[in-house]
Amino acid sequence: MKDKRTIVVVDPDISLVEDLQRRFLLEPDYKIIGISTSGTDGFAKIQSQQPDFAVIANPLPDTDAFQLLQSVANAAPQVRMIMSLESENQDLFRNAYKQEHCMF
């Protein structure tokens, strides 16, 4: 049996976090190992827990999400990052794309 892929979620909207938790309970290969509602705490969790993936929301209450993505990329380059955008602003999509981060 292979190890589960681990995920840290950084999102201030707790209802979205709970929805992700429910969805990943149905996925036998993935496990959420950390949840944070702020960028500062999320960065600390990503550094300490070294997940396979980090789902990072934009916007965050205390941190620019793009700066957080860059900080994670520098501190833990093996972590694959997924950016969750709450906006259809094309400039945000272009900025995330330029930084080579996934979006959904």
CA-nearest of 49, 53, 50 to 20 is 53
Which contiguous run of DSSP H or E holds residue 97?
Answer: helix 90-98
DSSP 68-83: HHHHHHHH-TTSEEEE
Cα separation, 52 vs 29, whole angstroms: 12
Domains detected in the chain: 5-103 (3.40.50.2300)
Give residue-wise pLDDT tens across range 47-75: 999 999 999 998 899 998 889 999 999 99
pLDDT bin (cut points 50, 70, 90) of residue 104 is very low
* Residue 103 contacts residue 85 (beta carbons within 8 Å): yes
For position 85, what pLDDT does the model report? 75
Q: E-strand spans in 1-104?
A: 5-10, 30-36, 53-58, 80-85, 102-103
pTM given for the model: 0.85
